[in-house]
């Protein structure tokens, strides 16, 4: 089992678009691996765990789960994050 890789450690983001762009770059640099992020995006506390884009297992915003279904496309992954963090 692969270990989880914390990404964007210590970084907070003023808007959702900047976060999604940075997270996508981290995803591309770590394909087929579990990634985690904890921080503030657009004034909201985010806890995230994703395996590439197909499985956004944890997406807790301000303590509430906002996890989409499994097997989503890159576009759906990005749009979901933009929606819940916007």
Q: What is the mean pLDDT of the chain?
A: 94
* pLDDT level of residue 3 (50, 70, 90 thresholds): confident
pLDDT at 47: 98
Cα–Cα distance measured from residue 17 to residue 42, given in angstroms and rounded to the nearest whole number: 9
Residue span of the structural domain in which 51 resides = 4-85
Residue among 56, 31, 32 nearest 46 (CA):
56
Taking the model in full, what pTM does it have?
Answer: 0.92
Average pLDDT over every residue of 42-63:
94
What is the number of structural domains in the chain? Answer: 1
Average pLDDT over every residue of 1-27:
93
pLDDT at 2: 62
pLDDT at 54: 82
Q: Give the C-alpha distances (Å, rounded to integers) separating 32 from 40, 50, 62.
A: 25, 10, 27
């Amino acid at each position: 089992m692969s270990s989880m890789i914390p990404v964007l450690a210590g970084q907070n983001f003023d808007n959702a678009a900047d976060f999604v762009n940075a997270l996508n770059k981290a995803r591309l640099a770590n394909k087929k691996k579990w990634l985690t992020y904890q921080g503030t995006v657009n004034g909201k506390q985010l806890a995230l765990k994703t395996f590439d884009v197909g499985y956004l297992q944890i997406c807790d915003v301000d303590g509430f789960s906002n996890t989409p279904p499994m097997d989503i496309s890159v576009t759906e992954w990005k749009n979901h994050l933009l929606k819940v963090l916007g």
